[in-house]
Copies of this chain bind each other. A is one copy, B any other.
Amino acid sequence: MTNAEADHVDVLIIGAGPAGLMMATWLAKCGIKTRIVDKRGTKVFNGQADGLQCRTLEIFDSFGFAHRAWIEANHMLEISLWNPDETGVLRRSSRIPDTIPGISRFQQVVLHQGRIERFFLDAINEFSQGTISVERGVLPTSLEIDTTTVEDPDAYPITVKLRHLSEEEARPKQTATSVNGTAIQDGLFRSNLSPDDTADMITSAELNQKADTVETVKAKYMLGADGAHSWVRKELGFKLEGESTDYIWGVLDIVPITDFSDIRQRCAIHSASSGSVMVIPRENKLVRLYIQLTTTEKTGEQESRADRSWITPEVILESAQRILAPYKITYRKLDWWTAYQIGQRVGSSFSAYERVFLAGDAVHTHSPKAGQGMNISMQDSFNLGWKVATVVKGLASRSILKTYESERKGIAKALIDFDHKFSRLFSGRPAKDIMDEEGISIQVFKEAFEKGNLFASGIAVDYGKSSIVAKPSVDNSSLSEEKRQSLAPEIKLGMRMPSVKVLNQSDARPWHLQELLRSNGTWRVILFPGNIDSERQKKRMTSLCNKLSVPSSFLKRFTPPSSRYDSVIEVLTIHASKHQDHDIFDFPEVLRPYDEVDGWDYNKIFVDDESYHEGHDQLYKTWGISSSEGCIVIIRPDQYVSYVGEIDDYNSLDGFFAGFLLPQTGSIKAGV
A: residues with CB less than 8 A from B are 67, 71, 74-78, 95, 97, 99, 101-102, 107, 255-259, 261-265, 281, 285, 332-333, 504, 506-510, 580, 583-585, 596-599, 602, 611-613
Contact = CB atoms under 8 A, between A and B. Distances in A.
Nearest to A262: B583
A103 B640 CA distance: 38
Contact of A332 (B97, B264, B580, B596): B596
A264 B612 contact: no
B583 A261 contact: yes
A76 to B, nearest CB: 7
A333 B595 CA distance: 12
A463 B495 CA distance: 54
Contacts of A102: 613
B332 A99 contact: no
A258 B594 CA distance: 11
B508 A333 contact: no
A37 B597 CA distance: 40
Contacts of A584: 261
A78 B507 CA distance: 7
Q: Copies of this chain, how many?
A: 2
A77 B265 contact: no
Nearest to A596: B332
Contacts of A611: 77
A585 B507 CA distance: 50
Contacts of A612: 77-78, 97, 99, 101, 107
26 contacts: A75-B507, A77-B611, A77-B612, A78-B508, A78-B612, A97-B613, A99-B613, A102-B613, A107-B612, A107-B613, A255-B598, A255-B599, A256-B599, A257-B596, A257-B599, A258-B599, A261-B584, A262-B583, A263-B602, A264-B507, A265-B506, A265-B507, A265-B508, A332-B596, A333-B597, A333-B598
Contacts of A256: 599
A585 B261 contact: yes
Contacts of A599: 255-258
Contacts of A508: 77-78, 265
A494 to B, nearest CB: 26
Contacts of A78: 507-508, 612
Contacts of A597: 255, 332-333
Q: Chain B CB within 10 Å — which of A255, A259, A585, A598 has the most? A: A598
Contacts of A613: 77, 97, 99, 101-102, 107
B583 A507 contact: no
A103 B585 CA distance: 33
Given A77-B613, A99-B613, A256-B599, 12 more contacts: A77-B507, A77-B612, A95-B580, A102-B613, A255-B599, A257-B596, A257-B599, A262-B583, A265-B506, A265-B507, A265-B508, A332-B596
Given A261-B584, A612-B99, A613-B107, A598 B509 contact: no
Contacts of A583: 261-262
Contacts of A580: 95
A585 B260 CA distance: 9
Nearest to A582: B261
A75 B256 CA distance: 43
Contact of A506 (B259, B264, B332, B506): B264
Given A99-B612, A580-B95, A612-B101, A259 B585 contact: yes
A518 to B, nearest CB: 13
Q: Chain B CB within 10 Å — which of A77, A95, A99, A259 has the most? A: A77
A225 to B, nearest CB: 29
Contacts of A264: 504, 506-507, 602
A552 to B, nearest CB: 29
Nearest to A64: B71
Nearest to A70: B67
Contacts of A333: 597-598
Contacts of A95: 580
A229 B77 CA distance: 53
A256 B264 CA distance: 52
A244 to B, nearest CB: 34
B77 A509 contact: yes
A506 B279 CA distance: 13
A509 B75 contact: yes
A285 B598 contact: yes
A107 B282 CA distance: 32
Nearest to A584: B261
